[in-house]
Every structure is written in structure tokens, then in C-alpha cells.
Chains A and B, each alone.
Chain A
Amino acid sequence: MDLNKALKPGIRTKIVNFFHENQSSIDTPRGVAAWIDEDRGKVKKALEELTSCNILIAHRSTSTTGYSYTRDPKLISNIVKLLKKRPA
């Protein structure tokens, strides 16, 4: 999935906005769902989609998966441009 498609208005954009505003955050699907006030199942699916296009990093363990924001400055700069065009 390319960046344009990943950041179409909706749950994925809400998640990216959350991680962009809280770049130090590492959170579980349950946590992210609470912060953006969305359904946990949908958030879980969206988190995996965003991980597959490298916007998020998945930290997997046997008990849970924590997701965090990309550390790639170039990608972050592209995300900023898109978020400005398409606020959540």
C-alpha cells in the first residue's frame, strides 16, 4: 500500500495523526483504540496495514504487539505533507 492510499481520510489517518503527535509512544491496539476512540478490531487491522507500509513499527512479543511511529525522517516529512492536505 502506498502512502497516498494509506492516508486516505479515515481510521488510518487518525492513527497516523496520533503517532505523529506522540512520536515517543508505543502502544497496543487496545491503547491506540482508546486514544483515537475507535473500535479495537478495526484499529488492529489498520495498525497492521500501516506497519506493512513502514509508517509504523511493530514490536512483537508472545503476549502482545506494541506499535510505534517510523523513525525515517524522509517518510515523516512526506507524511506531514499528506496530513496537511488531508486532516483526519
Chain B
Amino acid sequence: MEEIRGQNTYQIELFERLRRSVSLKKAEECFGCIIKPAFWWIIDKPNPKTKEIEDLLKQSYHSIKKIFTDKSGECLNTLAETLKKSAEHKKLLSFDCMEDFHGFVFPIAQGDKIYGYIGACYSRKEISSEALQIFPAFADTIVKEVQKEIELSKLYETLRPRAIALSTVHTVHRLISSTLDLGELLPRIARLSLQIMRAQRCSVKLVDSKRKLLLPKVTVDLRAKKIRLKKVKVGMWAPGKAFKYGRPVRARDYLATPLIDEDIIGVITLYDKIDKKPFTAFDQEIMSTMAEQAVIAIKNAQLYKEQERLTMGTIKALAKVLDTRAPGTYVPRVSSVKIAQCIGQEQMMDADSLKSLEYASVLHDAGEVFVPKAVLAKPTKLTGKEYKMVKAHPAAGVEIIKHIKALKGVTPIIMYHHENYDGSGYPKGLKKDQIPLGARIMAVVSAFESMISKKPYRAAKSISEAVMEVSRNSGTQFDPKVVDSFLNVMRRKDIKDAVKRDQRESNYIR
């Protein structure tokens, strides 16, 4: 099968596929046996003129040049006339050419539109009516098959990138909704946006509505080592404009997308694509979807942070109330909270457990509120009854907080922070791993804090004395692994400074 190239894209693809079509080649072979020695051709122009047919045929087929030497005018006129009639009637037409030659023309059409023709010429045998009836059915099926292939291919080309983009958006949603920590979330949003857009720089700015400013929260720049975080006034530059108008602002080298919830909370701005191409409408569409995901995650993180603040505020308020009874007993040292957190991190505690440890640092002795002040401050040995009251304070502390759902993780720490590693503690005499890790940590921190505090019945120990005392009790009162972590933490200069600062500032008796 030989052919002549046409112009429009669909036509080009249609004829290229027809040229490669195995079915059409088989049809040629099959009909070649009947109408031999036919010369097959394809013309991919709907209305070729005689001269054009000649030029196209000569241009493409060297073999035709020989045939066209004599009587070519008569031949081409016949062919042109048959093509025209075939297009008019939209059906296969046969023709006789010169003296003993025969041929046919079949129009390749879709609806009313003619794309070109398949034909055969120079058959020395008259083409039978049976062949003329069968060939259109074959050719029609083949052309439709090719047209379907093109449709499917176009559908695949359109749908596949969108399906992949959708899958990307879904993955991004999963990645950003898995954290409620804004400090982790915003850089993640910036890095993922950079990746999706293949851009060089991304900044995420959140609004300070009182001052009508966009505050830079994170900027990731693949080129710059040092990054300047710039505040942007509402209405200024791309982020300011995107914020002001509540819609994306796109130019060749930047794309600013507002983070819209009920109101606009910020803007994600991307700059300079890696391949130096401009940002496109498709990029804008993808970033708008990304921004929708991001704003939900940011709002969730902000709400979570607010809830945490509220919980901590409640705990601190509770501690303050308790503290009025015995000043200095319940408001913890900043350094103690920090030491507990650092030990927890060394012990690979997860974020939730660390948060519970932080809350427990404030509330672990809340149950002492039920112990008479005289018993807590007694300088001499406690009686059996008094000791029983002291031993009841962890359970009493749990009673105080048990209705606060957010403090569920705190209760085992409060309940068991007076258990000893060797089983000699209270209230249950648990030992080793039976004692929750948070409680084992709190036992060390609470004991250390108590030792360096002045009590009504004894003077405060120095920091090094208290550290040595903790170390001495490793394996008996305290978990050796926790003590190791404690000793590591206490070697840190920032921790030592914090403990000293707390000691200087605390002018109350603990």
C-alpha cells in the first residue's frame, strides 16, 4: 500500500495508522489475488485536483513516473472524475482506464467529512461485482478500527496525565494531613509544591490580618544558600495581589495561589521553573487543588495547636490554683519540663507520649492537694497513717484529671511516677518494664527537681550532688536506661544553664 501525505493532524495520524495497519495489508493481499495485478494507493486529500493528483503521485512514487509517460492525462482525468463522484456518493466506485485497465476508488469518510481515498489501479482484469461489494465492508471496518484507535489514543493521552496528577494530589493530601505540627507541615507543603511544579523557589506566607501583612512562614529555595524571609503588604507583589483578589496570580516566572478556607489565610508562591518554561493554566489548576488540600491541613494544625494551648492553659491554671495552697509545690521549673522532654526524645518517645510527659511534668503531684500540709512539710519521719496518705496522692491526682479526655495519656505517668525500678515503690509495687516509660522518666526528673529544691525539713542539694544521687540509685530506684539518658541530657550546656537559671529565680520553698 502506498500513500500521499496530507496536511491536518488528524488526517496525518489517520493515514499513518492506515499505512501501518496490518488488517489493511491483509485486505490488499486478499483482494490482490482477485483483481491482480492491482496497484494500490492512498490519497489523503479530500478534493485533489488532477494536477495535484499527478504531482502527489509523481512526488511520492518513482514507479508511477514510468506509467505516466504516455496517456497520463487521460488516466488522471478518469481518476479525478471518479474520486469526485466517489466523494459525492460516499461509496466505492469502479472505473475503466485507457484500453484494458480497471480500478476502483473507496472514500475514507467519517459522517459527511471525506478525509481521502483508498484505491487500486491498473488491474488488467475487470473487477468483479462480488469484489466490489466485499471490499467496502472490509475497508470500512478497517478505517473504523483505525479511527477508534485514534480516539482511544487521544483519550489515553488526555486522561492518563490527569489521572497521574489526581494520584499525585491524593498522595500529597496523605502526606500533608499526616502531621498536625505547623512547624513540620509548612515546610512539607513548600517542598511538595516545589516538586509538583518543578520550580526553584517556594514560599508559604500566612496572613496577619490585624497588620494587613503576609508573614513569611517558610521559604525553600533550591539555588540560594541564604534565604531572606520577607513580609509582604496585602496588595503588593504577587502574593499580596493573590491575597487581595482571592485568586491565583500567574506570570511567566511565578505563580501565587491563595489559601482559601472561609476566608483567605495565606498564599503559596512558586518562582522559576527548573526547565525555565512558563507557568501554565494546568499548573494553576493543580496548585489550586494543592492549596485546597494545604488549607485544610493548615487549619487542622492551627486548631490542634489552639487545643493544645487550651489544654496547657487549663493545666497551668489548675496548677496555679493548687499552688495557692502550698506555694511553689505545683508550678514546675521550666528546666524540669525540658529535661523530661529531652529524656523522652532520647528514649524515642512519639509526639503524643512527649506531649503527655509535658503535661505530667506540671500535674504529677496534683494529688498532694489531698494530703494535709503538715504531713507534706513534716521534718521528721512520717507515721504509718501519714505515709499511707502520701502514698495515696498518685491515685488522687488521677482522680483530678480523669475527666479531661486530652489528658488520658497522662494518667499512667501520674499514677506510677513513685514506683521504683526494683519494685519497692508505690502505689502498686510495679517493677522494671511494668512501670510505664513516662512514669520511669518522671520518677527521675521529679526526684532530681525535689533534691535541688529547698524543703522545710532540709536544705537544697547542689546540681552535681543531685545528679550523683540519681546516678547512685540507677537500677534500684530508677531505670538505668532512663538514668543514662538523664546523665546525657545533664551534660548539655543549655540544660545546665536552664537549671541554674531556675535555681536563681526560684525564691520559694519546694
Interface residues of chain A, those whose CB is within 8 Å of chain B, are 22-28, 31, 35, 57, 59, 61-64, 66, 68, 71, 73
Using CB atoms, name the residue of chain B closest to A59: B175
Using CB atoms, name the residue of chain A closest to B184: A61
Top 3 nearest A-B pairs by Cβ distance? A61-B178, A63-B178, A66-B171
Q: B174 touching A71 by the CB < 8 A rule?
A: no
List, in ascending order, chain B residues with CB within 8 A of A68's CB: 195
List, in ascending order, chain A residues with CB within 8 A of B18's CB: none
Point out the residue from B174, B197, B274 that lies within 8 Å of A73, measured CB to CB.
B274
Q: B191 touching A59 by the CB < 8 A rule?
A: yes
For the complex formed, measure the closest distance between the CB of B97 and the CB atoms of chain A, giving whole angstroms. 47
Q: A25 touching B222 by the CB < 8 A rule?
A: no
Interface residues of chain B, those whose CB is within 8 Å of chain A, are 161, 164-165, 167-168, 170-172, 174-175, 178-179, 188, 191-192, 194-198, 222, 274, 286
List, in ascending order, chain A residues with CB within 8 A of B195's CB: 24, 26, 57, 59, 68, 71
Q: B168 touching A71 by the CB < 8 A rule?
A: no
List, in ascending order, chain B residues with CB within 8 A of A26's CB: 168, 171-172, 175, 192, 195-196
When chains A and B are docked, how far (Å) is the Cα of A26 from the Cα of B222? 18
List, in ascending order, chain B residues with CB within 8 A of A63's CB: 174, 178
Q: B164 touching A35 by the CB < 8 A rule?
A: yes
Q: Contacts A35-B164, A61-B174, A61-B178 hold; do A24 and B198 have CB atoms under 8 A apart?
A: yes
When chains A and B are docked, how far (Å) is the Cα of A71 from the Cα of B71? 65
Q: B164 touching A71 by the CB < 8 A rule?
A: no
List, in ascending order, chain A residues with CB within 8 A of B161's CB: 22
List, in ascending order, chain A residues with CB within 8 A of B196's CB: 24, 26
Q: A61 touching B179 by the CB < 8 A rule?
A: yes
Point out the residue from A25, A28, A57, A62 that lies within 8 Å of B164, measured CB to CB.
A25
Q: Contacts A26-B168, A26-B195 hold; do A64 and B222 have CB atoms under 8 A apart?
A: no
Using CB atoms, name the residue of chain B closest to A62: B178
For the complex formed, measure the closest distance between the CB of B443 and the CB atoms of chain A, giving whole angstroms. 29
List, in ascending order, chain B residues with CB within 8 A of A57's CB: 195
When chains A and B are docked, how far (Å) is the Cα of A35 from the Cα of B166? 13
Q: A64 touching B167 by the CB < 8 A rule?
A: no
Using CB atoms, name the residue of chain B closest to A22: B164
Q: A62 touching B179 by the CB < 8 A rule?
A: yes
Q: Contacts A25-B164, A26-B168 hold; do A66 and B174 have CB atoms under 8 A apart?
A: yes
List, in ascending order, chain A residues with CB within 8 A of B191's CB: 59
When chains A and B are docked, how far (Å) is the Cα of A64 from the Cα of B172? 10
When chains A and B are docked, how far (Å) is the Cα of A71 from the Cα of B198? 7
Cβ contacts A to B, 6 pairs, < 8 Å: A22-B161, A25-B165, A25-B168, A28-B174, A71-B198, A73-B274
